[in-house]
Structure 1
Amino acid sequence: MNKPTLIMFAVIFSMGLSGNAIAMTKPNAMTMPNAERSVALEQCSAHKLKAVYRIKKTFNGQTIDTSLTLLRDGNTVAHVYPDTQITESWFLNPRNNKVKPTRFFDEHQRAIEYQPEESFTQFDERNWSRRYQLVAQQTLDSLDVEKSEGELCESRIHKKGVNGNLHLVWKNAVQLVESLSVTLPNGLKEEWTLESVSFDMDYIESEFAKRDTYFATDYADVGDDHTDQFLTTMVNLGFVEGGASGFYNVQGEALEGQHGHSH
């Protein structure tokens, strides 16, 4: 079950913000009045969105394809893994900047809640940017810039790792990785492609709301009820403590790939 998660990306905007629509109007962001520029950027707000990623991993001539959906709703973010029907979610408390993780088992409509900054991986849950945008901001800032292009919602920056084994395209307005290609020292190649982005507020809010109705168990109480077959099974399979992967440092090395469950 412990396979690195991988991720690929190419963007399709809903709400009239397709690439073709932007190409037809071609607004000049440099000369656009501030009010118009603000309205344009609000239409591609990073704070509430759904982003679907296609993931491709190639190793020793074998390829595995999977997907991940990133959901954002203000201070709450979720990573949805359709293949395993598991969703990992984090809430950033604005009062103390502490991050509270929750793991949802969508097939069973169950949840395991963790205390703020308690981790369901061996990694630091306080790194909000890693959960919010899949790549930690510190890592993103450490990459070399190759070029910048586009305006407003289509603004993007091409970056690469110091060893040339990581290439990433970053979309500024929505704070999303558009594409990422990385080759690890062991020969594993991962490619992430952003397939679609949606700003459908009703859908996004409903996704978080339905998971709030799941029967939840506090992580500290997981081992207390030996009659709960669901919890016993999840513990035995390693889903209670094992975390998902998909994050890289500046050298392109997977930060969590050796401890994630299979997606």
Structure 2
Amino acid sequence: MKNRLLALMLSSLVLPNVAMAAQEAQCPTLQAEHLKAQYQVTNGKGQQWQMTLIRNGQDFIIQRDGSTFEEWSSNGEYVRYFPAEKRSVTYRKGDLRALNIQHDRDQLYHVVSPALPTHMTKTQAKQEACFATQGFEGKVNGLESELVWIDAISLPAEFILGQSQPNLAYKLVGVEPFDSDAFVVLTQDYQDIDFADVGDSESDPFIAKMINQGFIEHGGSGFYNSEGQSIEAQGGHGSHSH
């Protein structure tokens, strides 16, 4: 009888460990500074789109649709890429200042401002399949909001701005390792132009089209709708909340 009980006890100990081992095998080994994270974004009208963040050290790329993606370099430069045309436009720090375009690098790098938790109240800590998460709730820009934070990769698992009447919601749907070589490949073989030279290149059909589209009229909030327009006016910017 004793042996049977012992066997039962042992099997109950072994099974979870086997399950854990299987789980760990499915969880990628991630570095916070070298990853690709995909989010499903939903706005207050119920419209949904995908956003991809790719980090390479302190440089990072954000893609919101198939037609363009944007890169923020640690030296303060901002580049917009147009894959269909294999063209890119680089904005130096001085260009951005002259255009009064401000990017909150911290918020963009972390999807939401990493200062948000300091203005919110801790709720539930959980151990998810691959990550430990910490919940927070509180007001962001006057709206009751909810944040589920993954400290290991410095990213939100979920962020809901305006719980009772959702204004904007981010949900992490996938994350994987992404090395420096793969990052470099993304921006290879593009014909680049400095923004300062755009005015002298209006005869270039690509430049003319870009100017007509007003593609550089981006707000600095890091929150955009599916058309790529800034939604800062709707209270989408979390980093100014105190």
| TM-score normalised according to structure 1 size | 0.67
1:179 corresponds to: 158
Whole-angstrom distance in 2 between the partners of 1:164 and 1:146: 17
Structure 1 residue runs of 5 or longer lacking an equivalent are 1-19, 28-41, 94-98, 257-263
2:74 corresponds to: 92
Whole-angstrom distance in 2 between the partners of 1:194 and 1:227: 42
Matched, 1:71 2:54: yes
Whole-angstrom distance in 2 between the partners of 1:86 and 1:21: 45
Code of the residue aligned with 1:198 in structure 2: it is E
Return the match for 2:208 from 215, 226, 232. Answer: 232
Q: Is the 8 A contact 1:160 1:166 kept in 2?
A: yes
Whole-angstrom distance in 1 between the partners of 2:223 and 2:163: 13
Give per-residue Cα distances to partners, 1:38-78, cap 9 Å, x unaligned: xxxx932101000111112232xxx3111111001112101
Query: Structure 1 residues 209 and 150, CA, compared in 2 at 3 Å: closer, same or farther?
Result: same
1:197 corresponds to: 175
Q: Secondary structure at the match of 2:37?
A: strand
2:8 corresponds to: none
Query: Structure 1 residues 122 and 159, CA, compared in 2 at 3 Å: closer, same or farther?
Result: farther
Whole-angstrom distance in 2 between the partners of 1:25 and 1:144: 34
Whole-angstrom distance in 1 between the partners of 2:130 and 2:184: 25
Q: Is the 8 A contact 2:77 2:92 kept in 1?
A: yes
2:237 corresponds to: 255
Q: Is the 8 A contact 1:50 1:198 kept in 2?
A: yes
| TM-score normalised according to structure 2 size | 0.72
Whole-angstrom distance in 1 between the partners of 2:18 and 2:95: 43
Give, in angstroms, the shift of residue 105 of structure 1.
1.3
Higher normalized helix content (fraction of residues): 2
Q: Share of identical aligned residues, percent?
A: 22
Give the structure with higher Rg (CA): 2
Q: Is the 8 A contact 1:101 1:117 kept in 2?
A: no
Give aligned pairs, total: 207
Give, in angstroms, the shift of residue 148 of structure 1.
2.2
Q: Is the 8 A contact 1:68 1:82 kept in 2?
A: yes
Q: Is the 8 A contact 1:153 1:174 kept in 2?
A: no
Whole-angstrom distance in 2 between the partners of 1:87 and 1:53: 15
Higher relative contact order (CA 8 A, sep 6+): 1
Whole-angstrom distance in 2 between the partners of 1:253 and 1:22: 47
Code of the residue aligned with 2:138 in structure 1: it is G
Matched, 1:46 2:22: no
Return the match for 2:137 from 160, 182, 190. Answer: 160
Code of the residue aligned with 1:242 in structure 2: it is H
Give, in angstroms, the shift of residue 91 of structure 1.
1.0
